[in-house]
Chains A and B, each alone.
Chain A
Amino acid sequence: MKTILIVDDSISIRQVVGMTLKANGFTVIEACDGKDALTKLTGQKVNLIISDVNMPNMDGITMLKAVKAMPAYRFTPVIMLTTEGSDQMKEEGKAAGAKAWVVKPFKPEQMLAAVNKLILP
Chain B
Amino acid sequence: MDMTQARSLFIDEANSLLADMERFLLEIEAGDATSAQHIDAIFRAAHTIKGSAGLFGFDHIVAFTHNVESVLDKVRSGQLALDGDLINLMLQCQDHTASLIRQLEDESSGIDLVTGTALIKQLHLYLDPAPVVAAAPTAVLTDTEHWQLDVHYGEDVFRDGMDPLSQLHYLQSLGELQQVRLLPHWPAPAAFDPESCYLQLKFELASTASKQQIADVFEFVQDSSKVQISPPQQVKASLAALPTVDEKLGTLLVNAGAVTERELQSALSSQKEHDNNQALGQVLVDQGAVSSEMVAVALDKQKATEHKRPADFQFLKVEARKLDELINLVGELVTAGAGIDVLVQEIANEKLKESFSVLTGLLEQIRDGALGLRMVQVGESFSRLRRIVRDVSKELGKDIELTVEGADTELDKSMVEKLSDPLMHIVRNALDHGIESKELRLYKGKPAQGQLKLSACHEAGSVVIEIADDGAGLNIERIRAKAIEKNIISADQELAEEDIYKLIFAPGFSTAAAVTNLSGRGVGMDVVKRNIEELRGQIQISSVPDQGTVFRIRLPLTLAIIDGFLVSVAGTHLVLPLNMVQECIEFQMSQQDNERNYLDLRGEVLPFIRLRQLFELAGPPQNRENIVVVQYGKHRAGLVVDHLHGELQAVIKPLNTLFRSLRGIGGYTILGSGNVGLILDIPQLVQFATTLENQSFVH
Residues of A whose CB lies within 8 Å of any CB of B are: 48, 75-78, 94, 97, 99-100, 113-114, 116-121
Q: Across the interface, which residues of A come within 8 angstroms of B56, CB to CB?
A: none
Contact between B170 and A116, CB atoms less than 8 A apart: yes
In the assembled complex, the Cα of A56 lies from the Cα of B491 at a distance in Å of 119
- Tell me which of A97, A99, A113, A118 contacts B223 (CB under 8 A): A99
Q: Decide if B617 is an interface residue (CB 8 Å cutoff).
A: no
Contact between B163 and A99, CB atoms less than 8 A apart: no
- Tell me which of B159, B166, B223, B224 contacts A117 (CB under 8 A): B166
Contact between B161 and A78, CB atoms less than 8 A apart: yes
Contact between A120 and B166, CB atoms less than 8 A apart: yes
- Tell me which of A117, A120, A121 contacts B217 (CB under 8 A): A117
CB distance from B291 to the nearest CB of A (A): 27
Residue among B167, B170, B173, B219 facing the most chain A CB atoms (10 A cut-off)? B170
CB distance from A20 to the nearest CB of B (A): 16
Q: Given A77-B160, A77-B161, A100 and B166 touching (CB < 8 A)?
A: no
B218 to A, closest residue via Cβ: A117
- Tell me which of A75, A76, A78, A117 contacts B170 (CB under 8 A): A117
Contact between A117 and B220, CB atoms less than 8 A apart: yes
Contact between B159 and A119, CB atoms less than 8 A apart: no
Contact between B163 and A120, CB atoms less than 8 A apart: yes
Q: Across the interface, which residues of B come within 8 angstroms of A78, CB to CB?
A: 161
In the assembled complex, the Cα of A98 lies from the Cα of B93 at a distance in Å of 49
Q: Decide if B162 is an interface residue (CB 8 Å cutoff).
A: yes
Summed over the interface, the residue pairs from A and B with CB atoms below 8 Å come to a total of 51
Contact between A75 and B166, CB atoms less than 8 A apart: no
Contact between A120 and B165, CB atoms less than 8 A apart: yes
Contact between A117 and B161, CB atoms less than 8 A apart: no
In the assembled complex, the Cα of A97 lies from the Cα of B167 at a distance in Å of 19
Contact between A118 and B169, CB atoms less than 8 A apart: no
Q: Across the interface, which residues of B come within 8 angstroms of A75, CB to CB?
A: 158-161, 195
In the assembled complex, the Cα of A116 lies from the Cα of B172 at a distance in Å of 11
Scan B161-188; emit 1 where CB is below 8 A from any A CB, else 0: 1110111011001000000000000000
In the assembled complex, the Cα of A97 lies from the Cα of B163 at a distance in Å of 15
B157 to A, closest residue via Cβ: A99
- Tell me which of A113, A116, A118, A121 contacts B162 (CB under 8 A): A118
13 contacts across the A-B interface (CB closer than 8 A):
A75-B159, A75-B195, A97-B160, A99-B162, A99-B224, A100-B161, A113-B170, A113-B216, A116-B166, A117-B166, A118-B161, A118-B162, A120-B169
CB distance from B673 to the nearest CB of A (A): 69
Taking chain B's interface residues, is the majority helix, strand, or loop, or is none over half, making it mixed? Answer: loop
Q: Across the interface, which residues of A come within 8 angstroms of B166, CB to CB?
A: 116-120
CB distance from A113 to the nearest CB of B (A): 8
Q: Which residues B146-164 have CB closer than 8 A to chain A?
A: 158-163
Q: Across the interface, which residues of B come within 8 angstroms of A94, CB to CB?
A: 223
Q: Across the interface, which residues of A come within 8 angstroms of B219, CB to CB?
A: 100, 117
CB distance from A89 to the nearest CB of B (A): 16
In the assembled complex, the Cα of A121 lies from the Cα of B169 at a distance in Å of 9
Contact between B163 and A100, CB atoms less than 8 A apart: no
CB distance from B195 to the nearest CB of A (A): 8
Contact between B160 and A117, CB atoms less than 8 A apart: no
In the assembled complex, the Cα of A76 lies from the Cα of B162 at a distance in Å of 9
- Tell me which of A48, A76, A116 contacts B169 (CB under 8 A): A116
Q: Across the interface, which residues of A come within 8 angstroms of B165, CB to CB?
A: 120
Residue among B159, B161, B166, B219 facing the most chain A CB atoms (10 A cut-off)? B161
Q: Across the interface, which residues of B come within 8 angstroms of A117, CB to CB?
A: 166-167, 170, 217, 219-220
In the assembled complex, the Cα of A113 lies from the Cα of B163 at a distance in Å of 14
Contact between A119 and B163, CB atoms less than 8 A apart: yes
Q: Across the interface, which residues of A come within 8 angstroms of B173, CB to CB?
A: 116
CB distance from B174 to the nearest CB of A (A): 11
In the assembled complex, the Cα of A117 lies from the Cα of B160 at a distance in Å of 13
In the assembled complex, the Cα of A19 lies from the Cα of B170 at a distance in Å of 20
In the assembled complex, the Cα of A94 lies from the Cα of B220 at a distance in Å of 10
CB distance from A79 to the nearest CB of B (A): 9
In the assembled complex, the Cα of A77 lies from the Cα of B158 at a distance in Å of 9
In the assembled complex, the Cα of A50 lies from the Cα of B219 at a distance in Å of 16
Q: Which residues B43-74 have CB closer than 8 A to chain A?
A: none
Residue among A77, A113, A117, A120 facing the most chain B CB atoms (10 A cut-off)? A117
- Tell me which of B169, B195, B220 contacts A100 (CB under 8 A): B220
Kindly list 10 other residue pairs between chains A and B, CB separation below 8 angstroms, not including A75-B158, A120-B163. Answer: A48-B161, A75-B195, A99-B161, A99-B221, A117-B166, A117-B167, A117-B170, A117-B219, A119-B163, A121-B169
CB distance from A34 to the nearest CB of B (A): 18
Q: Across the interface, which residues of A come within 8 angstroms of B217, CB to CB?
A: 117
Residue among A48, A76, A77 facing the most chain B CB atoms (10 A cut-off)? A77
In the assembled complex, the Cα of A94 lies from the Cα of B376 at a distance in Å of 66
Q: Across the interface, which residues of A come within 8 angstroms of B223, CB to CB?
A: 94, 99
In the assembled complex, the Cα of A82 lies from the Cα of B197 at a distance in Å of 28
B161 to A, closest residue via Cβ: A77
In the assembled complex, the Cα of A116 lies from the Cα of B173 at a distance in Å of 10
In the assembled complex, the Cα of A97 lies from the Cα of B161 at a distance in Å of 9
Q: Which residues B184-207 have CB closer than 8 A to chain A?
A: 195
In the assembled complex, the Cα of A17 lies from the Cα of B220 at a distance in Å of 20
In the assembled complex, the Cα of A118 lies from the Cα of B160 at a distance in Å of 10
B195 to A, closest residue via Cβ: A75
In the assembled complex, the Cα of A121 lies from the Cα of B219 at a distance in Å of 19
CB distance from B193 to the nearest CB of A (A): 13
